[in-house]
Structure 1
Amino acid sequence: MSRVLILNPADDIAVALDDIGAGETPEGLAVAATADIAQGHKIARHAVAEGGLVRRYGQVIGRASAPIAAGDHVHVHNLMMDDGPREAEVGVDAKPVATLDGATFNGIVRADGRVGTRNYIGVLTSVNCSATVARRIADAFPDSSLPQGVDGVVAFTHQGGCGGSSLSSDVTLLQRTLAGYARHPNFHSILIVGLGCEANQIPAWLANEGLEAGPNLRALTIQEAGGTARAIEAGVEIVRELVSEAATVKRQPVSASHLTVGLQCGGSDGWSGVTANPALGAAVDLLVAHGGSAMLSETPEIWGAEHLLLRRAADQGVADRLNARLDWWREYADRHQMELNNNPSPGNLKGGLTTILEKSLGAVAKSGSTPLNDVIGYAEPLTTHGLSFMDSPGYDPCSATGQIASGANLIVFTTGRGSVFGAKPAPTIKVASNAKLASWMDEDMDVDASPVLTGTPMAEVGREIFERMLAVASGEKSKSEALGIGDNEFVPWAVGAYL
């Protein structure tokens, strides 16, 4: 049985399927290892001269920073970033999707026709100054006290809402994010809590975002309520009424076309791009074929693989919008004296990933193979079915917050090192890239994608993920929900300065 994996005949490296000792010639490779190679790390198939390109997945993942001999460990000591041009024929891979029907889940149909996967009451904050009051209100309703059918009362607090111009980009971005949560179908109703004197005035941002206060969208300010204790008391009374109303909601069968899934990966390793991410991509293809929607995000983590998305762009306008976001990130990194290649984290490096190019090629695999139909800004409402891209940082909680604000009613999160991420109000399904992780952190992992390495077809694991999506969307708890995770993962993107 081969001890290395060669993903593409054009690859300059192979990936170690288990730990390989120096001097061993692993089955599947014609050369001996010149150093110890850890599982998931790269071993050179042949010599590469200093400055030569190195390929994985048949794509460039970097340039040799020193001469690489056959059998060498290929990693940070001899592989560096290559920022050369990556030409793409726009739309050449945008093929029509063969439609499927029949897949359903038990969803929550709101009065306006939107469909949720959960039934929460949200307590939003306009400013950090109202965070404690919002949390005290939510804390008055522990899950064990709620009637059947109500998933929880959750406070969403943040660090913004004041300290800058009322017209600054951060305030408008925060308003858009809050509005996305306020109209999200996974909420039965919303209470907004403010201080009263903040830059992010509640009436103003509601008007800016086309929202109106009403029976299911309430608001109060601490100053108008008469202080902290009175505001908490008033908020508890409002939420008590909303909980009673939310308890009357019932689930009903709906088409899988009502699912909008945010695609995330974090704590990636050398197997993420081989097992979990492409398996999620296979599930996304099934979802899109059934009329559903998926959002890829984390713009710095498609760097080096953007040409693969451009080849799937539905039209030139989609390609132009994606390129515009990449240009913005290049300028943003330069302005802050950062390099986009500093993205691979210590955990990524330990797991076998070396450059952002390599990481991005694996990350893009989450999106499957269907056309890229739209590119939207952070937390902008998603209006297009199929696959879309939402601009965001590569920081998972921040990116997922934007996806939820854009309309994701479910998150699927792949991991190789072991992320423990969860989110409310959109339940999170976590997919492990390797068997060790799936076993060691079994209380956190919903799906094990590692059978791909032992012969299980990718399509079969993709089908398992898709069926898990439908089950969780129908009300089954994901592992992160069973652990009660998701109250502290609301992280709106803050771009500007505080004054």
Structure 2
Amino acid sequence: MPLVSPGRPGTVPPARPGAALLLALDDDVAVAVGDVAAGASVAVGDTVVTATSDVPRGHKLAVRALPGGTQVRKYGQVIGRTTADVAAGTHVHTHNLGMDGVTHDYEFGTARMSLPPATVARTFEGFRRADGRVGTRSYVGIVTSVNCSASTARMIADQFRGPVMDVWPHVDGVVALTHDSGCGLVPESEGGQVLRRTLRGYATHPNVQGLLVLGLGCEMLTVQGLLADLPASPDTLVEHLTIQESGGIRATVRAGVEVVRAMLDDLETRRRVPVPASELVLGLNCGGSDGYSGITANPALGRASDLLVAQGGTSVLAETPEVFGAEHLLTRRAVSEDVGRRLLDRIEWWQDYVQRGGGTLDNNPSPGNKAGGLTTILEKSLGAVAKGGTAELTAVYEYAEPVVDRGFTFMDTPGYDPVSVTGIVAGGATVVVFTTGRGSVLGSKPAPCIKVATSTEMFERMREDMDLDAGRVVTGGATLDQVGNEILDLVLDVASGRATVSEELDLGRDEFVPWQLGAVT
């Protein structure tokens, strides 16, 4: 039967009543495509298995007897080890499957796949910036140096919400980028540098055409420190204010409103122009994953990533704790051993980091992930890396580092969705595609966020919060290739100005969450 492997080409057969999907020939478990009752006959490829217990949709059932202590395979890879004897047809989950201490013999560049160039050049309507980059939105960003200026920044931005923006129809809005730090930490520390890098990444983002940097005046991370040698595009309008020097909050709000209004008048004269798809930087992220994530939405997004890379564009995979256990698949695709080892260095950092915090990387999956059918981080990671398609891995970046390499890249971020997406956008992603199985309602600014549902059932239930249904891969309504093409089409439409459902709801202000590291004194 047709197979799916993470990061490899494949197809998913349409679901049949009472069917379960075997994702690789030697797998020990199959994924139920609908709720299965105890005693029901389940078609698994060319064989039939009798369910010995109820199996929820998206969960796993054993296709053969698995004695206690047996390594269990899904996607052709080990996802854990049985903690009890498991009969064929049994529901396999947290009650009888545990984490396995899998070790890998890492290879570098042994599975590199150079994608053939696209035969048809795709384009979108974007904002060509003076530094050569291309934006997909036109925002005025109010970047705060410290939490003490957060409320003031919001007061300024709130003056430009709703119908008032009708005066400037070619500007997408004003966004206050506020956070909970900026003082009480040493600017030269790891945490201080991560925050500074994140804020400067947003300040120089191609979707930010007007920039107001707002501070209090006595913080450790100063306005001047953020603006020093800022590599913003020459056509970015840049102003700064400090509350203490401006006469307090009310005076600063009045001054800030005047500054922003002048910026909006200027930005209103700027227009989109046709640009090649190669100018896109696509962020790849997932959250609220379920048992369908690695079968439908994630590999479909991987197809879209490959299509964009073939156009000469860039994609960015992230969430280091959620590639743990599947990192060996990425090192095999690395363009050099140095790139592959850079990924392994980040995995090692994370293992030490969570150990110092009294946890392990298998603290993930979350309760919601487990309710959706994911049992161990190994299983979750194997489905998560499918978002990266098959292209060779050209670079590995630390959190919020500027993404300058073309092709398929990786950024070290936490798995927590808002923090991860914040890092990717700080690195320069101009569109984000976010896959979800449970129904995450994330938005982002200034980069638009497209949400792809892993199942038709969830898509229908949360239709007003989802942009695209990838569940049709299982129900037979579309193939992975078709959905991958639909995702790329949607990315280009959104890059050209089409609003996502998150943008229609004005989401993205509260989802700016820089990664906080280090001691606060």
TM-score, length-normalised on structure 1? 0.98
- Is the 1:21–1:36 Cα contact (8 Å) retained in structure 2? yes
Provide the residue aligned with 1:23 in structure 2.
39
Helix, strand or coil at the partner of 2:151 = helix
Write the letter of the residue equivalent to 2:31. V
Provide the residue aligned with 2:520 in structure 1.
498
Provide the residue aligned with 1:472 in structure 2.
494
User: How many residue pairs were aligned?
Assistant: 499
In the aligned structure 2, how far is the partner of 1:345 from the partner of 1:248?
A: 47
In the aligned structure 2, how far is the partner of 1:35 from the partner of 1:208?
A: 63
Write the letter of the residue equivalent to 2:73. R
Provide the residue aligned with 1:382 in structure 2.
403
Provide the residue aligned with 1:49 in structure 2.
67
Q: Does 1:107 align with 2:129?
A: no
In the aligned structure 2, how far is the partner of 1:31 from the partner of 1:275?
A: 23
Write the letter of the residue equivalent to 2:141. G
Q: Bigger shift: 368-377 or 101-110?
A: 101-110
In the aligned structure 2, how far is the partner of 1:177 from the partner of 1:76?
A: 37
Write the letter of the residue equivalent to 1:115. V
Pick the aligned partner of 2:149 from 130, 138, 150: 130
Q: Bigger shift: 361-370 or 443-452?
A: 443-452
Deviation, structure 1 residue 31: 2.9
In the aligned structure 1, how far is the partner of 2:22 from the partner of 2:403?
A: 38
Q: Does 1:92 align with 2:114?
A: no
- Is the 2:187–2:220 Cα contact (8 Å) retained in structure 1? yes
Provide the residue aligned with 1:352 in structure 2.
373
Distance verdict in 2 for CA 1:279–1:422, change over 3 Å: same
Distance verdict in 2 for CA 1:488–1:312, change over 3 Å: same
Identical positions, percent: 52
Provide the residue aligned with 1:421 in structure 2.
442
Deviation, structure 1 residue 215: 6.8
Provide the residue aligned with 2:189 in structure 1.
168
Deviation, structure 1 residue 204: 2.1
- Is the 2:145–2:226 Cα contact (8 Å) retained in structure 1? no
Deviation, structure 1 residue 291: 0.7
- Is the 1:182–1:217 Cα contact (8 Å) retained in structure 2? no
In the aligned structure 1, how far is the partner of 2:225 from the partner of 2:301?
A: 40
Q: Give the superposed CA RMSD.
A: 1.4
Write the letter of the residue equivalent to 2:147. N
Deviation, structure 1 residue 32: 1.6
Provide the residue aligned with 2:79 in structure 1.
61
Q: Which runs of 5+ in 1 are unaligned?
A: none
In the aligned structure 2, how far is the partner of 1:444 from the partner of 1:323?
A: 36
Deviation, structure 1 residue 211: 6.1
Provide the residue aligned with 2:415 in structure 1.
394
Pick the aligned partner of 1:291 from 290, 312, 321: 312
Write the letter of the residue equivalent to 2:505. L
Write the letter of the residue equivalent to 1:492. P
Distance verdict in 2 for CA 1:212–1:369, change over 3 Å: closer
Deviations 1:94-140 (A, max 9, x none): 12221114200000111222100000000110000000110001011
In the aligned structure 2, how far is the partner of 1:22 from the partner of 1:167?
A: 60
- 1:215-254, aligned counterparts within 5 Å? 216-254=237-275
Deviations 1:162-181 (A, max 9, x none): 01223222221111101101
Provide the residue aligned with 2:330 in structure 1.
309
Q: Does 1:144 align with 2:163?
A: yes
Provide the residue aligned with 1:12 in structure 2.
28
Provide the residue aligned with 1:72 in structure 2.
90
In the aligned structure 1, how far is the partner of 2:233 from the partner of 2:481?
A: 45
Helix, strand or coil at the partner of 2:50 = coil
Deviation, structure 1 residue 338: 0.5
Deviations 1:15-70 (A, max 9, x none): 11111111122233533211111111100011111111000011100011111111
Provide the residue aligned with 1:318 in structure 2.
339
Deviation, structure 1 residue 143: 3.6
Deviations 1:212-252 (A, max 9, x none): 99971111100000111111111111101001011011001
Q: Bigger shift: 21-30 or 49-58?
A: 21-30
Q: Which runs of 5+ in 2 are unaligned?
A: 1-15
Provide the residue aligned with 1:484 in structure 2.
506
Distance verdict in 2 for CA 1:372–1:237, change over 3 Å: same
Deviation, structure 1 residue 210: 5.2
- Is the 1:175–1:209 Cα contact (8 Å) retained in structure 2? no
- List, as ranges, runs of 4+ consecutive aligned residues in structure 1 with deviation greater than 4 Å: 208-215
Deviation, structure 1 residue 301: 0.3
In the aligned structure 2, how far is the partner of 1:215 from the partner of 1:97?
A: 35
Write the letter of the residue equivalent to 1:471. D
In the aligned structure 2, how far is the partner of 1:467 from the partner of 1:214?
A: 29
Deviations 1:300-332 (A, max 9, x none): 000111011011001111011001000100100
